[in-house]
Structure 1
Amino acid sequence: MKKLRTIGFDADDTLWHNERFFNLTQQRFAELLRDYVEADHLDARLLEAERRNIGHYGFGVKGFTLSMIETAIEVTKGKVPASVISQLLDAGRDMLDHPMEILPHAREAVEAVSQSHHLVLITKGDLLHQERKLAQSGLGELFDAVEIVSDKLPATYERIFGRMDGGVSAAMMIGNSMKSDVRPAIEAGSWGVFVPHDLGWDLEHAEPPKSSRYHALQDLSELSALVAKLQ
């Protein structure tokens, strides 16, 4: 009987690029407000707004856009021109419409393990946007299940992996976020596999867990060897 039966994949910045578009939009945001506030201070204020608003708007482009607008109003003391608000809305729409870019080794890694394991995509964010990105990626048919969730907590993985053959102890979660993909999956009783991305969101930072169920890869090209090792 296999020790590992279910493999969960994060989507954004694990299978396809995501954070780079947020960074580019944040640079555009700073340019629009350069006459009102220094870029470093603006970044800190935006991060504060995002942290405040996650519980209201959730994760993803729409919440980010609303946080930019809120920050613009705050730092200008309500003097931000309507033209700037309009451009921020345009920036949000541009992010939603940006073409999908799959990360190196992602397709090969998913295809390789799809032959022998039950695969589930577990991602946070706006439902329609995540569904659109998955469709554009061409990877959707390789997954046995797709879960678009409001947050990733130990209970999230207990619920999802608990329904799978072998339960949480026979499952693995792979992702670029130590906070959302790795630590809570391990706390739930699964394996957690960290695959770093060059860009990271400050609100997703966490220290690596001290657990025998924790593994780190340089990139997804190393996944097949790890899966074989755990059988």
Structure 2
Amino acid sequence: MTTRARSLTTIGFDADDTLWQNETFFRMTEERFHALVSDYAEGEDLSARLLEAEKRNLAAYGFGIKGFTLSMIETAVEVTNGEVPASVIGEILAAGREMLSHPVETLPRARETLEELTGDYRIVLITKGDLFDQERKLAQSGLGELFDAIEIVSSKTVETYTRIFAQHGDGPERGMMVGNSLRSDILPAIEAGGWGVYVPHDLTWALEHAEPPNGSPRFRELADLGGLPELVRAL
């Protein structure tokens, strides 16, 4: 790392839908779920009930595929008044297993951006979700050697970013979080005192939506990761 003084020394990266595809596979599986239980509930109502089940279950199951699979099963039981066939439950479980084994697809400019920044900045992966699944995706992505530290957390809060940027950097004031979720990646990082760089993805889970903090001097938005090196070096 260079020794010249600067305002930014540490960059955190979200993983799902920032470095590699994720929500696409959830949407595909949800469509499959709709087809399995379509005889029992309308599409919009089914999506709403599944989302409510996911909200209820976050505290118990956390974020990730396993919690999503259990929420699909719970919703299937609810909409069928407990009469969902065992074969449908089996299909839902199979869909969840397929998600857990799906090949990782890195997003455009992910590797190039990390390679360009590593060495000049401390690079930290900050992701939430199931520990085993996130470790699997990181290993398959081939990006692991580009990070100075890996943090797989249960939630992303102001306290999370304060701790991570203090532990792996020079505090949140000299840290930046890059991600596709305004609610999890951007807002709490800025509130902790850091920079937040929003890189939108075409698909974002409804529970991650939030209004952008356009009035914050530490908020930036990029069309893709390719513009990040120029942005951070201009700070």
State the TM-score, normalized to the length of structure 2. 0.97
SS in 2 for 1:74: helix
**Alignment length (residue pairs):** 230
8 Å contact from structure 2 (residues 149, 168) kept in 1 = no
Whole-angstrom distance in 1 between the partners of 2:91 and 2:16:
25
SS in 2 for 1:156: helix
SS in 1 for 2:98: helix
**Is the alpha carbon distance of 1:123 and 1:165 closer, same or farther for their aligned partners in structure 2, counting shifts above 3 Å?**
closer
Worse overlay, 197-206 or 160-169: 160-169
Q: Match for residue 194 of structure 2?
A: 190
SS in 1 for 2:177: strand
State whether structure 2 residue 218 is matched by structure 1 residue 220.
no
Deviation sequence 1:87-120 (CA, Å, 0-9, x none): 0000000000000000001111111111200010
Deviation sequence 1:65-106 (CA, Å, 0-9, x none): 000000000010000000000000000000000000000011
Unaligned runs of 5+ in 2: none
Query: 1:1-231 residue pairs with structure 2 within 5 A?
Result: 1-209=5-213, 210-230=215-235
- 1:165: how far off? 3.3
The runs of at least 4 aligned residues of structure 1 exceeding 2 Å deviation read none
SS in 2 for 1:174: strand
Q: Which amino acid aligns with 2:38?
A: R
Q: Which amino acid aligns with 1:112?
A: E
Worse overlay, 5-14 or 206-215: 206-215
Unaligned runs of 5+ in 1: none
Identity %: 63
Root-mean-square deviation over aligned CA pairs? 0.6
Whole-angstrom distance in 2 between the partners of 1:228 and 1:68:
45
Q: Which amino acid aligns with 1:222?
A: G
**Is the alpha carbon distance of 1:34 and 1:165 closer, same or farther for their aligned partners in structure 2, counting shifts above 3 Å?**
closer
Whole-angstrom distance in 2 between the partners of 1:25 and 1:58:
18
